[in-house]
Structures are given as C-alpha cells and as structure tokens.
Chain A
Amino acid sequence: MIYFIVRRFASAVLVLFAISVSVFLIFFATPGVDPAARIAGRSASAQVLAHVAREFGLNRPLPIRYWLMMEHLFIKQDLTSYVNIGVRVVPQITQAAPITLSLVIGAAVIWMIVGVLGGVVAAANQGKFIDPFIMFIGIAAVSVPAYWLGEVMNLLTQSKFHSSIFAWVPPPGYVSFTTSPSEWFLHLLFPWLTLAALYAGIYARVLRAELVNALNEDYVRTARAKGLSERRILFRHALRCSLISIVSLFGLDFGALIGGAALLTEVVFGLPGVGMLTYTSLQNLDLPVIMGCVMYGAFFVVLANAVVDVLYAYLDPRVRLA
C-alpha cells in the first residue's frame, strides 16, 4: 500500500510537469503574435514589451524560458500583472482559493447526498414510477447550463420573489466564514444548490446504472442465497461495489471544480474565488493571471486524481496488487 501511494504520487508529479510544459507551450510558443505583446496585454508601450521580453527571456532558448516562467510562478512567486501594474499574481490566487473551496466543498456534500440517494432509490425501485421519474430529473439536471441555472436562481431570489418568500436571501456576494458563519451559509446556499444540481444528476444516473449491473452479478445471488436481507444486499454488497466508480468520478469532478471549473457559478453569483479571478483576467486579457490560475487549477486536478487513486485502492482490494 505504501509503495502504491509513493508510486502514484511520483507519477502525479510527472503529469504536473507535462501539464506545466503544455501550459508554457500554449502561452509562449503558439504561432501568431509576439508572446511579449500577449503577456503585456493590450496597448503596452515598447518599454514594457522590452521589459517583458527580458524578464521571461523571450530571446533565449525554450527550456530556459520554461525555467524562468516556473521560477516566477513558484520559486520567486513574483509574477505580476501588466494590466493592474504591480499586482502580484500568486497572493491573489491564495486569497481567492478559500472562497472557491467553500463553494465546491459545500456543493460536493449536497450532490453526493442527493446523487447517491437518487441512484439508490431509482435502482431499488426499477420499473416502478419513481425510477423513470428520478432519471428524468437527472437528465434535466445534466442538460441545464450551470451558469444559466444560476441566473434563474438569481432572478427568482433577487427579483421576482425577493420581497416575498425569498426575502431572507442576501444579495450576491461573499462573506467569509470567520466573519459570520450564518451569513457565509446564506450567501453560499444558492450557489451550492446551483453547482450541485448538475453533478447530482450525473451521479444519480451513473450510480443507478452501476447498481443495476451490480444487482445482476453472481455475488448478489450468492448474498441472497446466504439469507441476507434485501436491504443488506443492496447497501453492503451492491452499493459497496458500485461506490468504487462513483468515488473515482467524484475525485475527477472535485479536482476540476476546485481547479477552476466552478468559475461560471462564481461569476453568476459574484463570488470572488479563483474562477472569478480567471474570469476578470479574461475580460482584460491579463495573461500572467490566467497562466497562474491555470497552473493552480491543474495542480489541484492532478492532486485530486492522485488522492482518488489511493482511495480507489483502499476501496477495491484488487487494484492494490496491480
């Protein structure tokens, strides 16, 4: 098991390296315009361009340029924006990260509960009304663009019914947990629900399919022949085996969301997380910030994948040997 963990994290470092190289290539080696002009943003002076070219070694060979970029990002952490001159990128990201974490963790709790519940109830009631009903809601949830759902939520809570049933909903924005836990909760409630809807739909659908497969397996027949209760067969045997694939899905999604996939929800609800940071820098074409956000996001995705694989090995003893 220890060997497995070490090996898994070693390969994560390799993937991270590969990703950093591809980020580097996308930003610095895509044919087209001068990368200095890209980094410096629109309407930069010749002086700034020259400064950028020197700082990132744009006239030096590619490997050295790669090294310089990594140095600015991770070692010196002095990458600065050229749109808001002098603002450092890394502290901006570390400030925004807790907000993204609050959003994603809360949503994850909701979607895991709702998704697993929906999948189990649908699979346990195959052929009855409730099964296609849950699956229909699942499809609807999967087909809704998350940012648009957020707008609908805003419209309902901030405009139409703001003076009546949703009077308790605070305006979009963020209040940190340390300032006021209850405000933190209220501000995040609808963003959580919005973000969770899509994933709850996916998880309910995937889990139902997995459970239906599992319930047809030989080991379920054995469990039944052992005289176990239907409930125990469903939860301890079928669900336990189906959870393996749900956990691996969860890791990928969770990593991707922390890494920036939650940006649409953040934008719609005005939450100043990493996604919002990416969005605003997109609006001003502030490349150093975008680059920083992408690297940060990739780091979380790769980390989450590694953690999931370790968890996977814990859940499925067959993987440990491989």
Chain B
Amino acid sequence: MAAFGLLVVVVTACLLAPVYAHHIAHENPFTSNLNGTIRLGNKTVNVLQANTQGLGLGVTPIGPTWHFSTYFLGADSQGRDVFARLLYGGRTSLFIGFISAVICCVIASVLGLASGYFGGAVDWLISRIFDIVWAFPIYLLAISLSVVLLTSGLNIAFIHIQAGSLVLPILIIAAVFVPYVGRPIRGLVMSLKEREFIQAAIGAGASDFHILRKEILPNVMPSIIVFFPLMVAFNMLTESALSFLSIGVQPPAASWGTIINDGLDLLYTRPWVAMAPGIMIVITAGALNVLGDGFRDAFDPKAKLRGSI
C-alpha cells in the first residue's frame, strides 16, 4: 500500500510538471542557458561559473540551491535546470515504460494466445520467433535495432518514423521483451485448452474467436495483470540504460537515463545531476516491483516471471 502511494506521488508529480514547472524553474528545461544569471538572496550568480581550480579553464554549472524557486538541484553543463528536467524526464521515462509495457503485453498476448490455441504450424513459427529473440542478448538486440533505426528512422511502405522520435525506443523495448511475456501465456493457454470448459465450448461449436475472447482471455488476464507492473519497471530500467548509452531518448528531450548520462561528466563536481534521476528510478522501479509482488499474491500465487535487467 505504501508502495502504491509512493508510485502515485511520483507519477502525478511528473505528469503535472508542465503545469507548475515554470514556477520552480524559470528557464525552459530544453534550451541551454549558458550565459544566464539568477538571483540568490541579494547576490547575482552565474549559472555556469568559471573554474577556479586548476588552470581556471572551462566552466562548472551551479550546484543545488535547495530553493524550489530556482535551480533546486543545480544546473547541468548546458545551464539547464536539473530539477525541471528531472520532472520532464520522469514524464518521458514513465511514458516509455508504460506504453511499451502495454504494447509488449498486447503483442505477447496475441502471439501467445494464437500459438497456444491453434498449435501446429502457427505454434511452430511463433515459438521459433520467441526462441530466437530469447536467445538474443536483450541489450545487444536493442542496441542493434537502435543503431540502425536511430541513424535513419524507420521507413516501411507509408509508415515514416523520424529518427529522433520517442516511438522508436518504445517499439524497440516492447519488441525485445515480447518472448518474456509471450512464452508463459502460451503455456497457460495450452493447459487451459485441455480443461473441460474450453472443450465444452469447442464441442458446442463456438467459433475460435469467440472462445479466445470469451473463455480463454478472461482466464489469462490475471497473469497479464501480474506481469504488467514488473514489465513497466523492466522497461523503464531498459529505457534508462539505452538512453544512458545515448541510443534511447534523443536530445533535447530528457529522460532519467539521459540526465544520468549528462551527469556522468559532472559526477565529481556536481553529483546531484546524476544522483537525483537515479534515486527517482530506484524509487519508481522499487514501488512497481512491490506492486507487482502484491498483484501476484492477490491474483496468481503461482506466477513466475524471470527478471533480468
């Protein structure tokens, strides 16, 4: 319950960011602010300060002011407000995690249902696809797809997706995890199909579509619900990893992963840039995992989902 509450707080804070972000950050979180100044108390301070140590070359962004009104967590190397970016980045991260989990579960359900229900050639083909994607290391598959798609975008027939679009990481992450959900669903459908009530429906001459929709889907649903929060957590972590490798969300858009990446160079001078988004990820993913455990206990005590991020 506490986990759920925490999740609600994080999600609303991030979703509402556009509503109040201009109150806490006077600068646009997506444009650089290299020459800006802010007022702290009575002093005027540069957002990017000249280095005083060493050779005095280069600049260090301002550290946390701990004032909600401006640069609460300091600035990144572009002079952008980290706290505002954190909220907007959270929106992106949660959005990608959630949507890709939905897409993943839908594709996996369709494939798993078809594979388990129809058997035969359909099952063979889908199972082989699962096998191959499964044997492919997740990151390597995601990296291969990202590299190819991010350089050129996706152009199939009349579908054109631009290279920098958020849709690409969403689709890639969704695709990579399909076998992890699809395989258990296939197994579940196969055992359901042997049960009397399905056999009775088949015997009564119900159409395949009717049986799948009315008899099998409702029985598979609890497992999908159990998978879902865990999927969102996985996908968020994967997104942050891909963004960290600069093959996920593309600048100037922010996600927690990209902010951590931005903060890598500032790690020893301005640790908060990298620490804050990491803490957010841990809190959110942790809450989702606890929620998933709760769902599992409530719906489906025997469910197992192999996790590997």
Please, which residues of chain B bring their CB within 8 A of the CB of A155?
267-268, 271, 275
Given contacts A152-B275, A290-B144, contact A301 B136 (CB under 8 A): yes
Nearest opposing residue in chain A for B271, CB measure: A155
Please, which residues of chain B bring their CB within 8 A of the CB of A263?
139, 245
Nearest opposing residue in chain A for B244, CB measure: A147
Given contacts A283-B246, A298-B136, contact A23 B278 (CB under 8 A): no
Q: Complex Cα distance A225/B87, Å?
A: 59
Q: Complex Cα distance A290/B241, Å?
A: 17
Please, which residues of chain B bring their CB within 8 A of the CB of A148?
240, 260, 274, 278, 281-282
Q: Complex Cα distance A279/B237, Å?
A: 18
Please, which residues of chain B bring their CB within 8 A of the CB of A206?
304, 306
Kindly identify which residue among A151, A152, A259, A283 contacts B140, using a CB–CB cutoff of 8 Å: A259
Contact A151 B267 (CB under 8 A): yes
Please, which residues of chain B bring their CB within 8 A of the CB of A145?
237, 240-241, 244, 257, 260, 278, 281-282, 309
Contact B147 A285 (CB under 8 A): yes
Q: Restricting to A165-197, which residues have a CB under 8 Å from any CB of B?
A: none
A-B contact pairs, 10 of them (CB 8 A): A15-B135, A27-B148, A30-B152, A139-B286, A142-B285, A145-B244, A145-B260, A209-B304, A282-B247, A297-B140
The smallest beta-carbon distance between A318 and chain B, in angstroms, is 17
Given contacts A152-B278, A285-B147, contact A298 B137 (CB under 8 A): yes
Contact with B along A11-52 (1 / 0, CB 8 A): 000010011001100110011110000100000000000000
Contact with B along A260-298 (1 / 0, CB 8 A): 110110010000000000110011010100100110011
Contact B139 A32 (CB under 8 A): no
The smallest beta-carbon distance between B180 and chain A, in angstroms, is 11
Contact A33 B137 (CB under 8 A): no
Q: Complex Cα distance A294/B135, Å?
A: 12
Shortest 3 CB-CB distances between A and B: which pairs?
A: A32-B152, A143-B285, A148-B278
- A319 on the interface (CB 8 Å rule)? no
Given contacts A15-B135, A155-B267, contact A23 B289 (CB under 8 A): no
Contact with A along B252-288 (1 / 0, CB 8 A): 0000010010011001100100110010011011101
Please, which residues of chain A bring their CB within 8 A of the CB of B121?
none
Q: Complex Cα distance A16/B148, Å?
A: 21
Given contacts A264-B244, A297-B140, contact A38 B135 (CB under 8 A): no
Contact A144 B268 (CB under 8 A): no
Chain B: interface size category = 35 or more
Q: Complex Cα distance A147/B149, Å?
A: 24
Nearest opposing residue in chain B for A262, CB measure: B139
Kindly identify which residue among A19, A38, A249, A259 contacts B148, using a CB–CB cutoff of 8 Å: A38
The smallest beta-carbon distance between B192 and chain A, in angstroms, is 21
Given contacts A151-B267, A253-B308, contact A140 B282 (CB under 8 A): yes
Chain A: interface residue total (CB-CB under 8 A): 57
Instruction: Known A-B contacts: A139-B289, A253-B308. Give 15 more (CB < 8 A).
Output: A19-B132, A32-B151, A145-B237, A147-B244, A147-B260, A151-B260, A151-B264, A159-B271, A261-B138, A264-B244, A278-B143, A290-B144, A294-B143, A297-B137, A302-B135
Given contacts A15-B132, A145-B237, contact A256 B152 (CB under 8 A): no
Contact A18 B244 (CB under 8 A): no
The smallest beta-carbon distance between A270 and chain B, in angstroms, is 11
Please, which residues of chain B bring their CB within 8 A of the CB of A285?
147, 151
Please, which residues of chain A bring their CB within 8 A of the CB of B202?
none
Q: Complex Cα distance A144/B304, Å?
A: 21
Interface centre among B139, B152, B233, B278 (most CB of A within 10 A): B139
Please, which residues of chain B bring their CB within 8 A of the CB of A198?
309
Please, which residues of chain B bring their CB within 8 A of the CB of A297?
137, 140
Nearest opposing residue in chain B for A275, CB measure: B139
Contact B147 A252 (CB under 8 A): no
